């Protein structure tokens, strides 16, 4: 049992694993996932930046998704690993607020960005003649900036409210990061108003975009079914199925966690579900988009061969000058 100094304003994060050999092995697995997610998302951002063939709205949005996933997993895993190895599970009041802000910002912004990606595929497949206008560079930038700004505003509102709640009970948070619903259990006031705000916020930033994505892909799948070109149908279906896989991995555990009443929730279940959308999804996204996308695989080959081709070109130019 954690001993707690009642005069302190710090919180205690119980973490995800027990401090034993099994917990160590599981944490090492999480660190491996963190490494793969960091390398995968960084590679995707670098790849889209270098390859001119990927300078399209879809891949511009995908680069932002990789950036969000990189920040997403970095807001939780390093702190969790440090707490496990150091044995110091405390986090300052301000640090808890910062972690909560970044986590919620990435969560809300990514939900909106996934909806923008679904809209991009809908216009590209169902209204291809209008695509250059409806998904112009300016529109793409607006969708991205809007996702970041709306996610930040929503996150700031939740974080400020959570930090102004009086905590007169134990400050031990039964989670591996400062999740606001887990913090509410420590409040010494009735928080039903805020719980209603969480329900409304989750509906606006997760459920509504998810319904929009579902409707968009309903239209897309209908259009794919009526395509005459077998090659075009296969390419469109591959792209859309990739995005739907990412959407399912992200939205399903998130919506299930935050739309359930408090009476049906348990800390252990919440922590397990949080692993899916905070740790596994950031690792899976670049893998799914690279392995199931011929354009990305082709870009990997082109970029990896570029240094060799540059050297070969320089040698030919030098030889020509000598001749």
Q: Is 12 strand, coil or helix?
A: strand
What string of DSSP letters covers 84-151? HHH---EE-HHHHHHHHHHHHHHHHHHHHHHHHHHHHHHHHHH-GGGHHHHT-HHHHHHHHHHHHHHH
Query: Which residue shows structure tokens 């929730």?
Result: 265
Phi-psi region of 300 (alpha: psi -120 to 50; beta: other; left: phi over 0): alpha
- 11-296: CATH topology is Rhopdopsin 7-helix transmembrane proteins (1.20.1070)
Domain residue limits, the chain: 11-296
pTM: 0.85
Model pLDDT, residue 5: 47
Asked whether residue 315 carries a pLDDT value surpassing 60, the answer given is no
- Report pLDDT digits (tens) over 59-110: 999 999 999 999 999 999 999 999 999 988 899 989 999 999 999 999 999 9
- The model's confidence at residue 149, banded by pLDDT at 50, 70 and 90, is very high
- The model's confidence at residue 200, banded by pLDDT at 50, 70 and 90, is confident
């Amino acid at each position: 049992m954690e001993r707690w100094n009642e005069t302190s304003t710090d919180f205690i994060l119980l973490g995800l694993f027990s401090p034993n050999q099994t917990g160590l092995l599981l944490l090492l697995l999480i660190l491996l996932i963190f490494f793969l997610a960091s390398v995968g998302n960084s590679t995707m951002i670098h790849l889209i930046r270098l390859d001119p063939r990927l300078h399209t709205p879809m891949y511009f949005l995908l680069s932002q998704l990789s950036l969000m996933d990189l920040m997403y997993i970095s807001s939780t895993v390093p702190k969790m690993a440090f707490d496990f190895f150091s044995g110091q599970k405390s986090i300052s009041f301000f640090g808890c607020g910062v972690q909560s802000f970044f986590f919620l910002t990435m969560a809300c912004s990514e939900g909106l960005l996934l909806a923008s990606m679904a809209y991009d595929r809908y216009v590209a497949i169902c209204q291809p003649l209008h695509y250059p206008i409806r998904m112009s560079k300016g529109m793409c930038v607006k969708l991205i900036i809007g996702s970041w700004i709306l996610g930040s505003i929503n996150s700031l509102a939740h974080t400020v409210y959570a930090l102004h709640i009086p905590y007169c009970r134990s400050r031990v948070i039964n989670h591996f990061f400062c999740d606001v619903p887990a913090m509410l259990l420590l409040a010494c006031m009735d928080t039903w108003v805020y719980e209603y705000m969480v329900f409304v916020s989750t509906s606006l930033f997760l459920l509504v975009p998810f319904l929009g994505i579902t409707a968009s892909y309903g239209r897309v799948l209908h259009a794919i079914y009526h395509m005459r070109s077998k090659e075009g149908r296969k390419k469109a279906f591959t792209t859309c199925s990739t995005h739907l896989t990412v959407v399912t991995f992200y939205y399903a555990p998130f919506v299930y966690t935050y739309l359930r009443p408090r009476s049906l929730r348990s800390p252990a279940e919440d922590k397990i579900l949080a692993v899916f959308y905070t740790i596994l999804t950031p690792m899976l996204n670049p893998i799914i988009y690279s392995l199931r996308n011929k354009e990305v695989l082709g870009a990997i080959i082109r970029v990896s061969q570029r240094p060799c081709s540059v050297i070969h070109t320089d040698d030919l130019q030098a030889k020509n000058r000598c001749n």
